Structure 1
Amino acid sequence: MRFTNIFKAGLCLSLMSSSLLLSSCDGDKPKNPEKQFDTSLVIANTIDIVTVRSFADLTAQVTALDKACMELKKNPTQANLDKARELWKVARKTWEQTEAFGFGPVGELDQDNQASEGEDNYPLDIDPNMDTWPVDVSLMNQTIASNERITKETIEKHNETRGFHLLEYILWGPQSSPFTIETLQGNSRLLEYLVAGSNDMKSVCDKLTTKWPAFAKMIKAAGKGSKAYPTTKAAIEEMVTGMQDIVDEVGKEKIEFPLNGGGPTGSVEGGDTNKDGKPHFEKEESPFSNNSLQDFQDNLQSVYNLYTCSYKGQSGASISDLIVNVFKKPELDKKFKAQIIKAQTALKNLPGTFTECIEHHRPEVKSAQAEVIKLSEILEKEIAPLVSDSQGEI
């Protein structure tokens, strides 16, 4: 997920079987660790068990959500509104649990890598098409109030009013005056906009489902002829960077911007430019559904899933295994996994909604934020250097 345009923007670990774990390496920086550990299996397992299955679930859930939105437009009843809201949260949870692997078709491959693998392989920047935040409420209201015909193509013009948060706004409405079924029954433009938005989301997910297999094949070929990932180390670094990016975003953007300001228009870099230590409700990620705190927890869950190669009861050789068996850092592995849970728990235990918390429970929010920052520091200062400083292949 990205903070863009306006402000710019399972839990079961399974170790590899002893047949896969051969003699251990000496020291923290083995010269030829691939002889002791099959890192290619880690990459393949993580892609197949976690990423491929997560995106397949997402596509199915967004398809169901699109159908529910069309049914709500056709027959605007409270039952159909409740169903659409429920399916939004189901799809939202899965999307947020993919944030640690927002690379490849989801993010931006650099142009050299893209060209080397074939220009038609990757639709760049799927993420802002699905999840730009905060959504531009003013522009949405202008579109609704206009005479413009609202279609999927209308939605595609403006990432700042596109994806999950467009649907969220229409399904729940602003916090100051939430939408009811009567609101929707009395404004056909809202329902027209809703369906155009859900159609667009389904189209984006369909593209992702089409393009991801080519990327999966490429990253699983790391060290075996992949031009974008010439070594297994490069693929593992991509995954570690993905984890670090989302943890940083949760602590330093998703929590920080609404809590204290910051994040100037047009630039997420620049950090504290507009920081004033006051609540900025307009910068909250999912305020209409009061889902922000759940978003943050699910983002951290995506890190756990990727790190442990575990998803919905399946697991395999993982980055966690690399830390324990190649880099000989079992205590670091335990610390990192424990800190994920500690940060998730701190967020879960915040009283009320995130909107309420940034106004009335600021010390508690800062304490939870500090736990997320600790997680970021473990990644940045301890886990990432192990990978980047390793000699030769991993």
Structure 2
Amino acid sequence: MKNFTLALAATLLLAGCQKEEIDPQNTAAGSPGYNATALLDYAANGVILGTYRDLDAKTATLQTAVAALAAAPTPAALAAARQAYRDARAPWEATEAFAFGPVSTQGLDAVIDTWPLNRVDLTALLASTDPLTPASLRPRDGGLQGFHPIEFLLFGNNANKALADFTPREYLFLKSSAQNLKAATTQLLQAWQPGGGNFAAAVAKAGPGSTVYPKQKQAVQELLDGLIGPADELANSKIEQPLAQQTTDVEEAKFSQNSKAEFLQNLAGIEAIYTGRLGTTTGTGFTDLVAKRNPVLDVRFRQELAAAQQSIAALPGRFDEAIFQNPVAVRAAQARVRTVLATLQTDVQPLVDAL
């Protein structure tokens, strides 16, 4: 009996060791478990860092374009500044698929993209004699910082602001705000990249020894939460509120009339992390994890994501027009996005839970 007991104990100990060996954070490639190192590394150092670099470059272009407009207000300079704004919004909206880490812990989301715009205080500030330097604007409420005050002053309430409507103080505010926006995106980039805060390494090297993600599963869950967030917000806030209330007052990109493009970038961010593709570069994406466990689900989700993108792109006219003139089409597009959300929550989440 004693020998049997010892043998049983040894068997249980061995089984425990084998379980530990196939835990995601300790699994060697090709073993029975799932090693998330390649997924986490490309998500962090490929997609996320690449998108933040693009964002920082485009906010630099926006800063330059705004300064040029203030120095020489011409129709061409105004058109260039407006296009630079739209261009900078593209990578920012894609980053909503990974809105975790420094963008949150350093309070950068609030100074880059607070919505709604605080138009009452903005009007009062512009009418005052208060200084409009970058330093004086930096402590202001988030509703007076970042993209949206710049958007409003560049485009006006209906995207038809004339050069004659700009005031000297508006130009001062625009220049200082664009400078602060660029500083915030640079801070965000530096927080992720080597030589700075290197949060990318915290994601890529999740597992034993990490103080941020002691298990790879925690970092994988962070990525999945990142995908769920913009799908939820797009379907149930950005589309739902203007459509249900039948007003553009709650449309986030109303001043620039850029909603459809921004919706597509929300989905592009999800696609980049899921597929492991960013522009012409490719790496390991979430598709690798899903396909190894449920290849039918992987194919279905990619089809659902493509269908959501196609439905948004196919909305007749601008979004602010479609909510009044083609609400059925908007509802159909919204349903496609909700399908993406439901699949992530109902079908992909259990795969992560099982890691």
TM (normalized to structure 2)?
Answer: 0.87
Code of the residue aligned with 1:376 in structure 2: it is: L
Structure ranking higher on relative contact order (CA contacts 8 Å, 6+ apart): 1
Contact persistence 2:45–2:204 (CA under 8 A)? no
Match of 1:318 in 2: 285
Unaligned runs of 5+ in 1: 1-29, 109-122, 261-277
Match of 1:67 in 2: 64
Unaligned runs of 5+ in 2: 1-20
1:194 aligns with 2:177: no
Q: Aligned Cα RMSD in Å?
A: 1.6
1:293 aligns with 2:275: no
Whole-Å separation in 2 of the counterparts to 1:32 and 1:215:
23
1:253 aligns with 2:237: yes
Match of 2:314 in 1: 349
Whole-Å separation in 2 of the counterparts to 1:139 and 1:363:
37
Whole-Å separation in 1 of the counterparts to 2:315 and 2:209:
48
Q: Based on CA coordinates, which of the two structures has the bigger radius of gyration?
A: 2
For residues 135-157 of structure 1, what are the alpha-carbon distances to aligned partners after superposition, in whole Å with 9 as ceiling and x for unaligned?
12222222222222212234331
Query: Do the aligned partners of residues 387 and 91 (structure 1) sit closer, same or farther apart at CA in structure 2, a change above 3 Å counting?
Result: same
Contact persistence 1:130–1:162 (CA under 8 A)? yes
For residues 164-187 of structure 1, what are the alpha-carbon distances to aligned partners after superposition, in whole Å with 9 as ceiling and x for unaligned?
111111111111x83112222xx1
Code of the residue aligned with 1:97 in structure 2: it is: A
Whole-Å separation in 1 of the counterparts to 2:220 and 2:132:
43
Match of 1:223 in 2: 207
Query: Do the aligned partners of residues 155 and 351 (structure 1) sit closer, same or farther apart at CA in structure 2, a change above 3 Å counting?
Result: farther
TM-superposed deviation, 1:31: 5.4
Query: Which segment is superposed worse, 284-293 or 155-164?
Result: 155-164
Code of the residue aligned with 1:84 in structure 2: it is: A
Match of 1:163 in 2: 146
Whole-Å separation in 1 of the counterparts to 2:109 and 2:168:
29
TM-superposed deviation, 1:316: 0.9
Sequence identity, in percent? 31
Query: What is the number of equivalent residue pairs in this alignment?
Result: 324
Q: Does the residue aligned with 1:237 lie in a helix, a strand or coil?
A: helix
Whole-Å separation in 1 of the counterparts to 2:251 and 2:215:
39
For residues 240-299 of structure 1, what are the alpha-carbon distances to aligned partners after superposition, in whole Å with 9 as ceiling and x for unaligned?
000001110101111112222xxxxxxxxxxxxxxxxx3132111101111011111110
TM-superposed deviation, 1:312: 1.3
- 1:1-394 to structure 2, matched below 5 A, reads 32=23, 34-35=27-28, 36=31, 37-108=34-105, 123=106, 125-156=107-138, 157-175=140-158, 178-184=160-166, 187-213=167-193, 214-260=198-244, 278-325=245-292, 327=293, 329-390=294-355
TM-superposed deviation, 1:385: 1.6
Contact persistence 1:99–1:302 (CA under 8 A)? yes
Whole-Å separation in 2 of the counterparts to 1:130 and 1:319:
28
TM-superposed deviation, 1:32: 4.4
Contact persistence 1:134–1:284 (CA under 8 A)? no
Query: Do the aligned partners of residues 333 and 172 (structure 1) sit closer, same or farther apart at CA in structure 2, a change above 3 Å counting?
Result: same
TM-superposed deviation, 1:134: 2.3
TM-superposed deviation, 1:222: 0.5
Whole-Å separation in 2 of the counterparts to 1:298 and 1:232:
27
